[in-house]
Amino acid sequence: MNNTWQAFFGLGKEPFGADIRTIDILKTPELTDVQNRFDYVVRLGAVGLVTGEVGSGKSTALRYAMEKLHVAEYRPLYITASSGSIMEFYRQFVDVLDIHLSSNSKAIMVRRIKNEVMNLVREKRLKIVLIVDEASLMRLEVFAELHTICQFDKDSKPWLPMILSGQSTLIDKLTYRSSQPLASRVVAKSHLEGVDLAGMEAYLKHHLAICGMDRMLFDPTAITAIHQGSGGLFRKANHLARGSLIAAAQDQSAIVNAEHVRIASTEIF
Ligand SMILES: Nc1ncnc2c1ncn2[C@@H]1O[C@H](COP(=O)(O)OP(=O)(O)OP(=O)(O)O)[C@@H](O)[C@H]1O
Ligand SMILES: [Mg+2]
């Protein structure tokens, strides 16, 4: 699909994209809630959870909370989890700490990770926070062992706070008996849901404004259709909003209506 629709609406760039800049993130009450809990967990050196539906804005909220940390004081370490083994997790941790290791021994990896965390905390005077996105994908064996990486000086030093984010199955995995040592360290939970109709209108306006458009291009029927079709979830709303703008441009209509949203909805899941 070419970009004539952008020109038709006079949009400076393609709206509703995935690559939103941090300064362009819409400060919703839910985002502030995630940030407050994130800060609380980091202060305590504990574990926090961010759960929510697919495309509800979890990764964006994490990015926002991370960027709010003062660079001179904090070192956030961001990992996108996989369904791999605990060794896979440690390898990712080693990478994000920029450690060069030739050994594949678990014991050596864990020792190096802990030494590096201690070094950053004690020598460099940095506060560390480990953010594990897509944590709901992790195997139960990873949940069973993850708390050991946070234990320093006989578990007396809370040097490695951890934020786990993922779909609601993350909670299910934490209720297993084998996950209890990790679950017992959780001190805060945020859950992101779809926004309400007013929240969706604000979201659509915001994304248009990012592209230099101060006119509301969606009529009330379109806003309702996008809200219903997306369940208030942002990624799906992005697809419906972009698709309906394209449909409206093809229709030579300066305003998007519910019919344009319906056409867009036939293209997505
Ligand atoms: N606060 C926000 N302000 C502006 N845009 C947002 C905001 N939150 C989310 N978005 C938009 O919604 C899209 C989906 O958000 P995000 O990727 O954070 O969801 P997610 O919950 O992490 O999804 P997944 O479950 O697939 O990991 C983003 O690409 C971004 O464009
Ligand atoms: Mg995500």
Q: What is the pLDDT of residues 212-251, one digit of tens each?
A: 999 999 999 999 999 999 999 999 999 999 999 999 999 9
Q: Region of 224 please: left (phi>0), alpha (psi -120 to 50) or beta.
A: alpha
CATH at 255: 1.10.8
* pLDDT at position 3 over 90: no
Residue span of the structural domain in which 232 resides: 4-18+196-265
In this structure, the answer to whether residues 183 and 54 fall within a common structural domain is: yes
What is the structure's pLDDT at 104? 86
What protein residues have CB closer than 5 angstroms to ion ligand 2? Answer: 58-59
In this structure, the answer to whether residues 216 and 187 fall within a common structural domain is: no
Which strands make up the sheet holding 74-80, listed edge to edge?
74-80, 127-133, 162-166, 47-52, 186-192
Alpha carbon distance 67, 150 (integer Å): 23
Q: Are 73 and 127 in contact (CB under 8 A)?
A: yes
CATH at 178: 3.40.50.300
Question: Which atom of ligand 1 is the closest one to the Cα of 192?
Answer: 21
pLDDT digits (tens, 9 = 90+) for 74-133: 999 999 999 999 999 999 999 999 999 888 899 999 999 999 999 999 999 999 999 999
In this structure, the answer to whether residues 188 and 202 fall within a common structural domain is: no
Alpha carbon distance 202, 9 (integer Å): 19
Residue at which a domain ends, from 162, 192, 222: 192
Alpha carbon distance 112, 125 (integer Å): 18
What backbone phi and psi angles, to 5 degrees, belong to 163?
-115, 125
In this structure, the answer to whether residues 62 and 132 fall within a common structural domain is: yes
pLDDT digits (tens, 9 = 90+) for 148-191: 999 998 889 999 999 999 999 999 999 999 999 999 999 999 99
Q: How many domains does the chain have?
A: 2
Return the number of other C-beta atoms located less than 10 Å from residue 50's C-beta: 29
In this structure, the answer to whether residues 85 and 126 fall within a common structural domain is: yes
Among all bound ligands, the one having the nearest atom to the CA of 14 is 1
Question: Which atom of ligand 1 is the closest one to the Cα of 18?
Answer: 29
* For ligand 1, atom 13: residue with the closest CA: 235
Whether 246 is in a domain gets the answer yes
For residue 238 and ligand 1, the question of a CB distance below 6 A is answered with yes
Beta bridge partners of 202: none
Whether 166 is in a domain gets the answer yes
What is the structure's pLDDT at 233? 98
Q: Are 30 and 190 in contact (CB under 8 A)?
A: yes
In this structure, the answer to whether residues 138 and 232 fall within a common structural domain is: no
Whether 187 is in a domain gets the answer yes
Residue at which a domain ends, from 192, 214, 241: 192
Q: Are 49 and 170 in contact (CB under 8 A)?
A: yes
For residue 230 and ligand 1, the question of a CB distance below 6 A is answered with no
pTM metric for this prediction: 0.95
**CA–centroid distance, residue 112 to ligand 1 (Å):** 34
For residue 235 and ligand 1, the question of a CB distance below 6 A is answered with yes
In this structure, the answer to whether residues 203 and 220 fall within a common structural domain is: yes
